[in-house]
Amino acid sequence: MKKTSSLLPLAALLIAVLACSTPELPPSITPTPTKASVQPSRTPAQTGSTQTPIALARTATSTALPQATPLDEETLQRLEISGGKTLQLQPGENRQLQVVTLDCCYLYNAWKILTAWSIQPDQGASIDPASGLLIVDAETPHGTTYTITASVENGRRRINRTLFIFTPEGNPLAGTWREAAQLPCSGSGEKLPAEAMRELIFGADSTMSATWMPFEIYKDYWGKYRYELQSGSFALSEISGSYVPADLDPSGSFEIDENGDLILKDMWLGSYQWGENNPTNCGHRFTHY
């Protein structure tokens, strides 16, 4: 009997240790679910966690997480689709589009906000609905246009932009050029310009701009242009700007020479406003940037 009674404290200690090693879970904690019963993960908004104003971007294979803080109305209305003044691509090219705002006159600020991208028509080009990666098929013909749409914050604002498709064969003028020489009216050959026009831009949307001294977003003058491939006729129209030369002669002819340079004949894009002794000539030669 003495031996049995001496084991009682040891048994009681063992029972207490086992009880402490497997505590009962409080009502607020649930066991880890099995594979068959795993619940969807909770988003930061559902858990109440704080987020920065920049929202989480969508992925191509999953639903986007909601933004923690919506954009303010003023920023929302200033949003635009990236791509420069004219959104233009050649067949086979691609472009990563973003939703941006123009800040401090010429700096674009990209916003990582909840955006759903789409394109119409949906043949000949495609855009990733989540990332905004735009891809043009190699066989898409010159002159095709598309409407790109960015639906921001679940449709809170829809931003549209036109995409222009061009080929060098269909529009050999499209692009950015710089003046290399001028053609005297006497026909005595080329001469170096006293002040070269450093930026002549032709968009695939038939817009143009001319600038002698490019700085940030400054342009001297701008307008529209038209051309005919067979006849080589060329003309500017609807000209306005910060500086429109008084000696501007906006119509003549064009050709692309064997070096790929643009030759403008029987016309004059004007003299530099701050230049001295700049005679009016009758043509230009431009090279591609």
Q: Are residues 281 and 247 in the same domain?
A: yes
Q: Are residues 276 and 179 in the same domain?
A: yes
DSSP 25: P
Domain final residue pick, 111, 138, 165:
165
pLDDT of 11 over the 60 cut: no
Q: List the beta bridge partners of residue 89.
A: 165
Kindly report the pTM of this predicted structure: 0.74
| CA torsion, ordered 96, 217, 259, 248, to nearest 10 deg | 140
Looking up residue 154, the CATH number of its domain turns out to be 2.60.40.1080
Q: Are residues 181 and 247 in the same domain?
A: yes
Asked, for residue 64, whether it belongs to a domain, the answer is no
pLDDT in tens, 38-52: 333 333 333 333 333
| CA torsion, ordered 56, 59, 61, 64, to nearest 10 deg | 30
Total number of domains in the chain: 2
The single residue listed with the structure tokens 């040891």 is 10
Task: Determine the structural domain holding residue 137 and report its residue range.
Answer: 73-165
Q: Are residues 144 and 181 in the same domain?
A: no
Q: Are residues 83 and 153 in the same domain?
A: yes
- Tokens for 68? 């923690």
Rounded to whole angstroms, how far apart are CA atoms 128 and 121? 14
- Tokens for 198? 């450093």
pLDDT in tens, 20-29: 444 443 333 3
Q: Are residues 96 and 189 in the same domain?
A: no
Q: Which helix (H) or strand (E) holds 58?
A: none
Q: Are residues 209 and 122 in the same domain?
A: no
Give residue 54's pLDDT band: very low, low, confident or very high (50, 70, 90): very low
pLDDT at residue 55, rounded to an integer? 31
Asked, for residue 46, whether it belongs to a domain, the answer is no
